[in-house]
Chains A and B, each alone.
Chain A
Amino acid sequence: MKHTISAIVENKPGVLARIAGLFSARGYNIASLAVSETLDPSISYLTMVVSADDEKILEQIKKQLHKLIDIIKITDFTKKEHAERELILAKVHCPPKEKAKLEKVLAKYTARLIKHKEGLAIISAVGEQAEVKEILDDLSQFSIKELVRTGKLAISLD
């Protein structure tokens, strides 16, 4: 079972290493991790997707994270009203004659064509996990050459 957790942390060297070290030392699994500075440059915001088979493991993950001195706050989105998005960048095969077809597919989603040159196109798309999956399924008709994704970002309403 996957859970989305966010962490508000001190923006200083070694913090990410502490979190990564905690996960490897205690055998927890991390599915995705997105990190960046916040409005306050002394603070970074992390969104993590973690795998935990039961509530007990999830509780331990949260407690162990909280124990790290550089972590200021942990939020578990499991039962919280929140929004989540992921950004993907994909490089797809797209001969000039198929450009219109690609644009038509992209128009169905929060997606756009960024660059197109010599039969290759770079597209971006944003959405919730289900939507991203749908886009990727739809794009498979163009043969995806390379795919990068940010991992999930989440923010709560309260």
Chain B
Amino acid sequence: MESLKREGVEVMFGYPGGQVLPLFDKIYDSDIRFILTRHEQAAAHAADGYARATGKPGVCIATSGPGATNLTTGIATAYMDSIPMIAITGQVKTSVIGNDAFQEADVTGITRPITKYNYLVKNVKDVARIVREAFHIASTGRPGPVLIDFPIDIQQQETEFIWPEEIDIRGYKPTYFGHPGQIKKAAKLITNAKRPIIYAGGGVITSGAYREVKELAERMNIPVTWTLMGIGGFPSAHSLSLGMLGMHGTAFANHAIMQADLIIAIGARFDDRVTGRLDVFAANAKIIHIDIDPSSISKNVGVEIPVVGDARNTLGQLLEELGKAIDTSDWLATIESWKKKYPMRYEEGGKLKPQYVIEQIYEATKGEAVIATEVGQNQMWAAQWYKYSHPRTFISSGGLGTMGYGFPAAMGAKVGCPERIVFDIAGDGSIQMNIQELATCVCNKINVKVAILNNGYLGMVRQWQELFYKKRYSHTCLSSPDFVKLAESYGALGIKVTKKDEVRPALDKAIETDNVVFIDFEVEPEENVYPMVPAGEAINNMIEGLA
């Protein structure tokens, strides 16, 4: 506990159990805030949401066996999105490890491929060093979750507390500054570019490189597109902004990256949802790839100038090297014509439109809310229709695509940023995957607002079935409880909305209400997310969905 306090831990999310009793006995006396979730998976997502919203590592705790395995979805989610997290699990006593004891699972074995590193504590004298190392590993370089598996007999032992001020892990030395030779080469390529584009990923958020990205874009007149993880790294309303690219990106962003002669990739990894068909992706572009993880460079796409380093430091070096603006006026004019030709739009009329609901959430919160999402259509609409202007305000499971993530992550974000309005944009499917956290939110007065875009379907899968499986809606139509009554039974406020003119008053009421609020928006059942690039197609080969 002393080690956790030294690391500046303010809050932990978790669930007790037999093999963490000694630890919980210490938590009982500790001044670190503890939030009891109603499921261990939610504790992991809450720690993750806290980390994404604040930039500080999130901490979650569970017991051995099933407690620990329930954390794994949350750990894998954090791992895929490079989120700093510390997961502490109880373990059976060291003398029976390997004997199939009650509630025993090989947790370091299970979590090896989904953690940045993990520890099995075998000696109480190692605890302080392990905690120190775990926080260091989790929060530096390319961040990620670190798990500490803590046998009960070690928890019961006492030792003198010696805090290691310095740590040295000889196999772990991240590179923080770009190689000067590579920076020079990158600057030269930028100076000679005619159709450059900045492609910004989650690394911009992690390293806090937003000012540098903005300066690079503005000084050199380079348009900016971003990934799902990069949302908030560049202001959406900026004239150089192209919005998100990829499978559900804007058509103009996709056309722009396909026609570019230079891609400046910053903290992004050329994921398949971004590149589409690889062999035709940005065929005429040279690529500068800045990333702190060397293994992300040239993994999917070959690059001309690899630069290993922290995005913020490296961009700082690059900005020093770069001179005056380059002339990109023709290129920006072409992009402007694409923006006019292929604007983001949706069809009005019929039932309530989910896109309209998101636009209204943007209006009602003046763009200042923290938005968490579940996974599927709700996630894509939240990415497309809310105009983000600050980093760490969009919280979503990008890599793993975990349904049930949004609500507990919103809870964690609200704990980290109590002064902000925090919305979870959900679907009727995914909200039911961690709906028990209503109890946690109400009990702890974590006043998250949940906007359920209720279409009666597992919408994204249904959309694929409509487009690629001849509308054979195999098990994607689902029934839900009365969300208003459900919210009320937990002591939260429930509001039902079916019409357009009810949207704004409901949102205003939700924001004003000093309580957890569920708003059940009954939306157009078969509305699709457009534009869309079918899987495996070139990303400029988009389905617009509109006449």
Interface residues of A (CB under 8 A from B): 9-10, 13-14, 17-18, 21, 25, 56, 59-60, 63-64, 66-72
Contacts and interface: CB of A to CB of B under 8 A. Distances in A.
A21 B302 CA distance: 26
Nearest to B308: A63
B453 interface: no
Contact of A56 (B108, B117, B302): B302
Contacts, number: 38
A67 B109 contact: no
A64 B295 contact: yes
A29 B126 CA distance: 36
Given A56-B302, A60-B299, A63-B295, A69 B113 contact: no
B470 interface: no
A59 B295 CA distance: 8
B302 A14 contact: no
A126 to B, nearest CB: 31
A69 B294 contact: no
A42 to B, nearest CB: 10
Given A59-B298, A64-B295, A14 B170 contact: no
Contact of B113 (A13, A21, A60): A21
Contacts of B137: 69
Size range of the interface on B?
Answer: 10 to 19
Interface in B90-135: 108-109, 112-113, 116-117, 120
Interface in B123-177: 137, 169-172
B116 A69 contact: yes
Contacts of B112: 14, 17-18, 21
B302 A69 contact: no
B117 A69 contact: yes
Given A21-B113, A64-B295, A70 B171 contact: yes
21 contacts: A9-B171, A10-B170, A10-B171, A13-B120, A14-B108, A14-B120, A18-B112, A21-B113, A56-B302, A60-B295, A60-B298, A63-B295, A64-B295, A66-B294, A66-B295, A67-B293, A67-B294, A69-B117, A69-B171, A69-B172, A72-B170
Interface string B277-294: 000000000000000011
Contacts of B109: 17
Contacts of B120: 13-14
Which of B112, B120, B293 has the most A CB atoms < 10 Å from its CB? Answer: B112
B171 A63 contact: no
Contacts of B116: 69
Nearest to A15: B171
A59 to B, nearest CB: 7
Contacts of A70: 171
Contacts of B108: 14
A66 B109 CA distance: 20
Interface in B257-314: 293-295, 298-299, 302
B294 A25 contact: no
Nearest to B295: A63
A139 B295 CA distance: 45
Contacts of B113: 21, 25
B382 to A, nearest CB: 31
Given A10-B171, A17-B112, A70-B171, 15 more contacts: A10-B170, A13-B120, A17-B109, A21-B112, A21-B113, A56-B302, A63-B294, A63-B295, A66-B294, A67-B293, A67-B295, A68-B171, A69-B137, A69-B171, A72-B171
A158 to B, nearest CB: 20
B399 to A, nearest CB: 15
Contacts of A69: 116-117, 137, 169, 171-172
A10 B171 CA distance: 8
A10 B116 CA distance: 16
Nearest to B296: A63
B529 to A, nearest CB: 31
A9 B171 CA distance: 8
Contacts of A72: 170-171
A56 B298 contact: yes
Nearest to A8: B171
Interface in B72-105: none
Contacts of A71: 171
A25 B171 CA distance: 21
Interface string B243-268: 00000000000000000000000000
A69 B172 CA distance: 5
Contacts of A64: 295
Contacts of B169: 69
> What 10 pairs between A and B have smallest CB-CB spacing?
A63-B295, A72-B171, A69-B172, A69-B117, A63-B294, A72-B170, A64-B295, A69-B171, A71-B171, A25-B113
A17 B109 CA distance: 8
Nearest to B171: A72
